[in-house]
Chain A
Amino acid sequence: MEYVVLLKQVPDLAEDLAIDGDGTGIDREWLSFVASEWDEYALEEALHLRDATGGSVTCLALGVESGDVSELLATCLARGADRVGKVGSFEHGPDSHAAAAAFAEALRGIPHDLVLTGVQAIDDLDGQVGPLVATRLDLPHVSVVTHIAVADGGGAVTVHQEYAGGVVGEFEVMLPAVLGVQTSREAPRYAPVSRVRQLMKTATIEALDGGGGGGGGGSGSGLVIESMAVPTVGRAAEMITGNPAAIADRIAAILAERGIGSGAAR
């Protein structure tokens, strides 16, 4: 079974985000990047599945200048991926439609039974790359997948799609297919930093054609961003200040006013 995982880096939310001069994008100057959380789950699942079925895991990322794609891909190798590749060449991460066009182009030249993406990434507005890639390649796709098992001697997979209230739908999907991974059976494995460093020097990262890197036949996302803003935090909230003891006093008082925490609750 040939597994392909699509991964990206996203801005680290632990740092403050600011809006750029135009008011239509985020200020990229001081951004630090981390691997998109859900992509790490996708890779973890791919590694488990490969270990069970045999075959190989190929990790692909777009060749974007912002962040450090080589480090991302070296980390994939350190975790156990067999092959890594950079697709196309972009100044920053393009919109989902352009990303999907490039991946679809690259996938035409790479064997793939199962393509795994993260269920979503936090940094784009125009929806999920997985279903966009799948539609371009005419493959079936399922989003919000929480469980994957290979079935039918490798001709299909059984997957769970998650709904509200913890209810899941079980599906049998014919391969090749694209899945958007929500969580992995085990926490993503650790890759020692020293090993990643070493691989960044020695590993081969293939350069793959993404069909010119542009829309690749489609007309782009078709979205026009009018404005972006950092929402006013605490718009509605009354902020409690002071040391932890003072905060605790105030919270206890707010609850007591409503008869909560005085033994009268429920």
Chain B
Amino acid sequence: MSAEILVLVEHRDGAVLDTTHELLGRARTLAAASGGEAVAVLLGSGAAGLAAGLGAARAIVVDDPGLESFSPSAYQAALVPLVRERQPVIVLISNSGPGMDVAAGLSAALDLPLAAYATDVTMDAQGPLVSSQLYAGKIEAKVRFSGGRGIVTVIAGSFSGDSTAAGGSPAVEVVGAAATDERIRFVGLIRPAAGDVDITRESVLVSVGRGIGEQDNLELVEALAAALGGAVSSSRPIADLGWLPRTRQVGKSGLKVKPKAYLALGISGAPEHLEGMRGAELIIAVNSDPRAPIFSVAHYGAVADLLDVVPALTARLGG
């Protein structure tokens, strides 16, 4: 075992994603605590230039035309030998779509344990300790690796993404891929059409989840949003149902918002939703379930039926 903390770099459109900086920040803290090194692993084709901006002691760049864009099979083929050889104590991977693919594949291929849905990773005398969320955030577990090393997939926003504390560029080592796998061919990126409203620019968001019950009830929140001079946003199921456009969706696969005020109405607060809104200045949650995880990020909460509270609030605001 080496004392290395490996971080898989996620990049798209020629830029490193924020989540990677979050992971690198924590990797440096863990490395400092354990006398190891934070090592960034960047897979790409001609993307070595991105390595200079990474907050790591060392960056290993695997450069191969087959890694031009993300592909689960090509990433796995490139990563397996690297992790096998370096024996890092922890491999940190973002719990994103690609991250979920790669982490589980690595775990199976290397018989290395995987702790998924992590919100915290620390290191003590017994080795890594991971806090993970289960049951859509309703249970928290603390777990260790039986062999003292393993893979962790981390929920976005769990660590601060300050990469300025990095202190200099990493030592960069460029290698070719040992193997690539072309059973999955990247065709292209498809970007969403611009929406009617840009929820990332609104200062007040009235956000609804499955607790709204019926599509017709959306009128109630539209009226509240109008009274507040804000816009309506939603959790994923509401967009999946087609009740609101996808551009109104907040969260992991939706948009990240930071309004002055975020009203979460009938939203349980699954980790994938919290990713998108936990940075709001003021969060007020209304939910009929007193155990809803949204209440652990809200500043104010009320256990109530949103269908009662919303009209009362709109009336109170003179809407």
Residues of A at the B interface (CB closer than 8 Å) are 11, 13-14, 16-17, 19, 26, 96-97, 100, 119-120, 122-128, 130-132, 134-136, 140-144, 158, 160-174, 177, 180, 182-183, 187, 218-219, 221-241, 244-245, 247-252, 254-255, 258, 260-261, 263, 265-266
Contacts and interface: CB of A to CB of B under 8 A. Distances in A.
A142 B116 contact: no
Contact of A234 (B107, B203, B241, B301): B301
Top 8 nearest A-B pairs (CB, nearest first) are A222-B113, A131-B104, A135-B108, A248-B312, A144-B97, A244-B308, A166-B192, A265-B229
B103 interface: yes
A11 B105 contact: no
B100 to A, nearest CB: 4
Nearest to B247: A166
Given A126-B107, A236-B297, A140 B146 contact: no
Interface stretch (B24-32, B163-171, B253-261): B253-261
Contact of B135 (A13, A96, A223, A266): A13
Given A223-B115, A260-B261, A249 B71 contact: no
Contact of B104 (A130, A169, A183): A130
Nearest to A174: B183
A160 B107 contact: no
A177 B71 CA distance: 14
B105 A265 contact: no
A125 B115 contact: yes
Contact of A247 (B132, B254, B302): B302
B109 interface: yes
A135 B109 contact: yes
Interface residues of B, number: 102
A231 B101 contact: no
B189 A169 contact: yes
Contact of B293 (A127, A131, A142, A233): A233
Given A128-B104, A227-B141, A236 B296 contact: yes
Nearest to B99: A143
A224 to B, nearest CB: 5
A244 B103 contact: no
B299 interface: yes
Contacts of A251: 263, 284, 300, 302, 309, 313
A128 B230 CA distance: 38
Contact of A140 (B97, B183, B228, B309): B183
Given A163-B12, A223-B143, A140 B261 contact: no
Contact of A261 (B97, B229, B252, B296): B229
B185 interface: yes
Interface in B249-289: 249, 252-256, 260-261, 263, 268, 282, 284-286, 289
Contacts of A122: 134-136
A224 B148 CA distance: 10
A162 B255 CA distance: 12
Interface in B81-135: 96-98, 100-101, 103-105, 107-109, 111-117, 129, 132, 134-135
Given A161-B97, A164-B96, A167-B189, A265 B140 contact: no
A196 B296 CA distance: 39
Most chain B beta-carbon neighbours within 10 Å: one of A174, A223, A265? A223
Given A143-B72, A166-B192, A261-B317, A224 B296 contact: no
Contacts of B103: 127, 131
A258 B108 contact: no
B297 to A, nearest CB: 7
